[in-house]
Amino acid sequence: MIEGFRLGVFSRGTTLWDGLDFVFGDAAAWVVTGPPSSGKTLLLSILRGERRPDAGDVVVSGESLYRGNAALAHAWRASCGYIPEQTVADARLTVGNLFRRSALAGDGVRESERKERTDRLLEMVGLQGASGWRIAELSISERGRACLAAELLRGPKVLFCDGLVAGAGVPFREMLWGLFRALAREGNTVILAERRIPERWALAAGDPEPVGPFRVYRLAGPPAEVKGESG
Amino acid sequence: MSERPSLWWIDWRLSRGPLVRETLGRFLFFCLLGFALLSLLLSGGASRFLAGRYAITAVLRAEVPSAEAEGLARKVAALPPVRSATYRDPEAAWKEFLRAYPGLESLRGAGGNPMPGYIEIGIRPDRLTGADVDLVASALRSVPLVEHVLAGEEWLPRLLRAGRLASWVGWGVFGAFLAGFFLVGRLQERARAVALAGDFAFLAERGVPASRLAFLRAAGAAISGFLLAAAGTAAGGGALFLFLRKFPFLEGVIGPTSDLFLPRTVAAAALFSCGAALLSAAASLLGWRAARTGRK
């Protein structure tokens, strides 16, 4: 469980938000929505242990990320996967390089396993045969999906995605929905930061919990199940 | 070999092309440095050249029998600074004189051979110092069989000073090239650290401490620096070996090829490789630090 207590951020000479409490339970997919410049990326950085909040603390499984042992914070980050909002960063790399780099971050991915799983994961996100493609030549949607596949290589316990669903585009939302549901079913936690939640997902999630400028949704199950539709 | 990816060779895994080019350049540079290092070590700067041209001459008294003169030469040869001590009897001395000054045969008239016998003493290149020359000259002067000792003591200090200066210049140039290697290496490491900054940030975000990355990169640089320096010095030594075999007259300036295999030469090459490893590690750490500072 990831808990944020009385979190506050002071940025650009003003208080962005203060006194926010979050609780993200294990084995579930969560969507945090908020308007532009509301600090969604910042919130993910704080939850990942990357950026110390100006107020409050983050507790993961009972251990403080910022006031506890530094080794625990490193271990926590090592167990996380992170797909940043897609920019021109890493343009010099190929998709295969993303996987190679991801394998370096994890201690347990063997070379043979990496090669085998790379093809499988790329196929899963609709990028079969893309291993040699250059990131600079990919669309925003393709970059996001390639990064997602590379992060999944390490099998992170917690996956943070920043603007991934919006970037992936409508045709891939259902694929992502199914993927996140499967990850949650296997005991993983997925936290998404988006400007808005897809309508079908919102219907499945039910009423969000308002936290400061954000709305926090817990994705319970596939939209079809919730709505009673087939497929 | 473990299949598990290791952070030891992280630069190799993330940036092979530039690293291969840098490694090739460093190897060639170490070949040149190794050649220069072994040449300087074997020659002792200018010592071997000077020692090959400098000799102490002990002029013997006229009545000294050959057997006693040869015995004295053997005793002198046993002195630590002495490389060789050769006795020339009066007849050999006369022939040498005539070769040097042809047409003076008339000097050998009724009085017989006017040339005395002498012992020519060569000094070891590494012992060609004022103190060692004094030691040998003093030992010879105390022997009753010796009439004169010609050791060039008036001009020897100037010669030795010039030799030392030449050695310093040689080692200075070598040191300057080594410093150049360090500075270029630091710039290369910095450029690579900047180019890979995104990858390092990626790893840091995923729980790999920056200090561990810096340490492992430096350790990798040290190991590759040691191996490159050892290989480069071996290649440079091989080139020097062939060079001396092709131009044997240079052995008088640099030294015999057999000296390349002396334990002290090998030990010096190993020490040089260790130094190169330390410089490579330092260049890696400084490059890393500069890249991180520059980013902030």
Relative orientation angle of helices B156-195 and B16-43, to the nearest 10 degrees: 170
- Sequence-ordered list of residues with C-beta below 8 angstroms from that of B221, at least 6 positions apart, any chain: B189, B280, B281, B283, B284
What's the pLDDT at A88?
64
Q: How far is B24 from chain A (nearest CA, A)?
A: 23
- Chain B residues 181-200 with a CB less than 8 Å from chain A: 198-199
Test A105 with B207 for CB contact under 8 angstroms: yes
Spatial contact of A83 and A31, defined as CB atoms under 8 Å apart: no
Nearest residue in chain B measured CA to CA from A50: B205
What's the pLDDT at A107?
66
Q: How far is A100 from chain B (nearest CA, A)?
A: 8
Name the percent of chain B in helix, strand, coil, to the closest 5: 70, 10, 20
Residue-wise pLDDT for A146-189, tens only, equals 999 999 998 899 999 999 998 888 888 888 988 998 999 888 99
User: At A136, which amino acid appears?
Assistant: A
Give the ipTM of the model, two decimals please.
0.78
Test A77 with B4 for CB contact under 8 angstroms: no
Query: Mean pLDDT, chain A, as a whole number?
Result: 86
Domain ranges of chain B: 7-46+166-295, 50-158
Class of domain B50-158: alpha beta
Chain A residues close to B203, C-beta within 8 Å: 101, 104-105
What's the pLDDT at B18?
85
Chain A residues close to B14, C-beta within 8 Å: 97, 100-101, 104
What's the pLDDT at A220?
66
What's the pLDDT at B110?
64
Considering the four listed CATH numbers 3.40.50.150, 3.40.1280.10, 3.40.50.300, 3.30.70.1050, the one that applies to the domain covering A1-79+157-231 is 3.40.50.300
Low-confidence residues of chain B: pLDDT under 50 = 1-4, 295-296
Domain ranges of chain A: 1-79+157-231, 88-154
CB nearest to B5's CB, from A76, A82, A104: A104
- Evaluate if residue A141 carries a pLDDT over 70: yes
- Evaluate if residue A190 carries a pLDDT over 80: yes
Taking the alpha carbons at both ends of chain A, their separation in whole angstroms is 32
What's the pLDDT at A104?
84
B208 touching A (Cβ < 8 Å): yes
Test B199 with A101 for CB contact under 8 angstroms: yes
B3 touching A (Cβ < 8 Å): yes
What's the pLDDT at B294?
57
Instruction: Compute CA distances B202 → A148, A152, B54, B285, B292, whole Å.
Output: 14, 15, 66, 19, 14
Nearest to B269 by CA among B46, B26, B38, B32: B38
Test B207 with A76 for CB contact under 8 angstroms: yes
Average of per-residue pLDDT across A116-122: 90
B13 touching A (Cβ < 8 Å): yes
